[in-house]
Structure 1
Amino acid sequence: MRKLIIGCGYVGLAVAREWVKQGHQVSALTRSENNAEKFIAAGIQPVLGDITQPESLERLPEADTVLYAVGFDRTADKSRREIYVTGLDSVLKVLKQRSQKVIYLSSTSVYGQTAGEWVDETSICEPERENGQICLEAEQLFDQHGFLSTAATQTKTATAVILRLAGIYGPGRLLARMEQINAGEPLAGRPDAWLNLIHLTDIIQTILRCDKNVHLDDRYLVCDCRPITRQEYYETLARLLKAPEPRFASAVPGENSSKSTRFNSTERASGLNKRCDNRRLREELGISLTFPTIAEGLPDAIENG
């Protein structure tokens, strides 16, 4: 079958390699001739183009499945809205006539909850931060272009599925944090705030499952089975690295970081982030996570990083 990847980076390239192994015909959009050469070596057919240049998108081939995994490139001299909204809008205008299914990688930043509430696919999305607002605006383009099923159709079958990814980790994605932990540098952010994470391996298996399934919901929250606090995450990472116990910049010097944050009770009720529930992913899509928590995932990421 024909597969097209738009955004062939950390996640996209990993999926492309899996599709190549499965014997599919895989194409990938790229702005770079250097990347094009790397794609060819990996058995991927490059398509030179840029989502911010609509005329170049006429080169996009027909595909049975499109994976849209575009991230924000700070070196591209484009705003977040130009990349996530304007670029996606241009792509969807072309894909209407050239694809049967689009798998779109979004973010849990579309949720605005900040007091540690549990959220799932039915939770209200009212993001306060600009990046979340832009991600939500991008998701809404699928409705506007008619890619998603509506209540009026009384069906769950969709020509697009939106995957709201939690924080991505895996091989090659921990280097900066590992260096910071090993150096004993103080960490920014609240130690008691919640983190929602997902290992690269489980993102890949979710995408492959969505590709194979005909009857899909239009949105899935893709996270592991246990949200953790920032403190637990970094303590676990430090223990695995045999590094010094992590310190947080928000803590009072000389005191235990878990008890000495500079936040009053009102501040502590907000800014705790949300906790993501992956029940639909597991029970409806049938995903059995390879790395259900960081206890399994972090050792793998470190060993294979």
Structure 2
Amino acid sequence: MAQPSLLIAGCGDIGSGVARDRLGKGWQVVGLRRNPAKLPEGVEGRAVDFADPQSIAKLGELSADYLLLTLTPAAYKREGYNAIFDEGLLALLARFKRPPKLTLFVSSTGVYDQADHQWVDETSETAPSRFSGQALLTAEQHIAATGWPHSIVRFSGIYGPGRNQMINKVRQGECTPATPLHYSNRIHRDDCVGFLLHLLDRAEAGEEVGQCYLGSDSAPTPIQDVQAWLAAELGVPYRQEGQPVARTGSKRCDNRRLRESGYTLRYPDFKQGFSAILPSLEAD
């Protein structure tokens, strides 16, 4: 019996984590990215620039049992986001002559614009004011418009090994000022990979997969509290000499649907997640 096939478009860190697991289970995995040399061993790689429809057209006809879209623009610029999540995504979807059993699209909580500490979930209004959120919401709509079986996963701030921006800011004394209070939401990189694998497993077992999930841990926390805790753990002074958070609004993400799907978070709060990272930093 043929093993399931998985095509990962934009196979970076998260996609590579998914790929390694599926390869270990005997799946056939194809990875599309700008530089296929960076793909994990065992992944069939193909070079493509998702901002260039002609590059996508050169792929020819595509097919896979499962499609995972983890697209990432090269830079935080409006043109790049629009090129990938609008024209580029449509060109890629057009390469499929038959729908996959499940299409997973990695989106972001940036599609929300709430800023008054309120709770948001999968049913909350999506009216992003930033170009990045607008582009992602457009991509979500393109996925839904296919009519294919799909699931959109809106991850909050991803942290984990190699993603040390906040730790570096704390070390440098560039913590967020005490006011305004700003709730932050995050999810460990390993839980991003784990939850995507969980959805693939459910689909392969013939179990229901929801069309949208909010991927975040169980403890939305003011960023000021997170940074104060990190400073104490790192043994450095807690200096709030940074800038207020500007890119995202202050909201609290409700992950109830994720938990009710049967997935158990490996790192349900920031203390557990960062505690798994800090020892390796000290070893360096």
Shorter chain as denominator, the TM-score bin is 0.7 to 0.9
Name the residue aligned to 1:302: 278
Deviates more, 1:180-189 or 1:4-13: 180-189
Counterpart of 1:166 (choices 156, 176, 180) is: 156
- Between the aligned residues of both structures, percent identity stands at 33
Aligned in 2, Cα 1:188/1:172: closer, same or farther, shift over 3 Å?
A: farther
Q: Is the 8 A contact 2:182 2:223 kept in 1?
A: yes
How many residues of Structure 1 are paired with residues of Structure 2 in the alignment? 269
Aligned mates of 2:150, 2:112 — CA distance in 1: 20
Deviation sequence 1:91-141 (CA, Å, 0-9, x none):
112235263221100001111211111011111111122221221111111
Residue of 12, 16, 20 corresponding to 1:17: 20
1:73 maps to which residue? Answer: 74
Give the Cα separation in 1 of the matches to 2:132 and 2:24: 35
How far 1:6 moved relative to its partner?
Answer: 0.7
| 1:43 partner letter | G
The structural deviation recorded for 1:31 is 2.1
Q: Give, in whole Å, the separation in 2 of the partners of 1:303 and 1:86.
A: 43
Specify which of 276, 291, 298 is matched with residue 267 of structure 2.
Answer: 291
Once the two structures are TM-superposed, the CA of residue 186 in structure 1 deviates from its matched residue by 5.0
Tell me the residue number matched to 1:153.
none
SS class of match (2:213): strand
Cα distance in 1, alignment partners of residues 188 and 96 from structure 2? 29
CA shift at 1:224, angstroms?
A: 0.3
Superposition deviation, residue 249 in structure 1 = 3.8
Contact 2:178-2:224 within 8 A present in 1 as well? no
Q: Which residue of 1 aligns with 2:53?
A: 54
Is the CA contact 1:166–1:198 (under 8 Å) kept in the aligned structure 2?
yes
Paired with 1:18 and 1:78, the residues of 2 have a C-alpha distance of 34
Q: Distance in 2 between matches of 1:129 and 1:113?
A: 12
Match of 2:188 in 1: 199
Amino acid paired to 1:218: Q
The aligned amino acid for 1:4 is: L
1:282 to 2:259 alignment: yes
* 1:211 aligns with one of 190, 195, 200: 200
Task: Give SS of 2:117's match.
Answer: strand
Report the residue type matching 2:7 in the other structure. L
Aligned pairs for 1:62-211 (under 5 A) are: 62-74=63-75, 79-97=80-98, 99-147=100-148, 159-174=149-164, 176-185=165-174, 187=176, 192-211=181-200
SS in 2 for 1:99: coil
- The offset of 1:51, in angstroms, is 2.0
Query: For 1:245, which of 217, 230, 238 is the aligned residue?
Result: 238
What residue number does 1:28 align with? 31
Give structure 2 stretches of 5+ with no counterpart: none
For the 8 Å contact 1:102–1:160, the answer to whether it is kept is: yes
The structure-2 alpha-carbon separation of the partners of 1:107 and 1:8, relative to structure 1 and needing over 3 Å to count, comes to: same
Q: Aligned AA for 2:267?
A: F
- Provide the secondary structure at the position in 2 that maps to 1:63: coil
Structure 2 Cα separation of the partners of residues 73 and 188 of structure 1: 30
- Secondary structure of the 1:216 match is coil
**TM-score, scaled relative to structure 2:** 0.86
* CA offsets 1:63-106 (integer angstroms, 9 cap, x no match): 11111001121199952111222211111122352632211000
> Which amino acid in the other structure matches residue 86 of structure 2?
V
SS of 2:126's equivalent in the other structure is: coil
Amino acid aligned to 1:42: E
Normalized against structure 1, the TM-score is what? Answer: 0.81
Counterpart secondary structure, 2:266: coil
CA pair 220-244 structure 1, distance change in 2 beyond 3 A: same
**CA distance in 2 between partners of 1:114 and 1:76 (Å):** 23
Q: Distance in 1 between matches of 2:280 and 2:79?
A: 33
- 2:50 and 2:94 map into 1 onto residues whose CA distance is 11
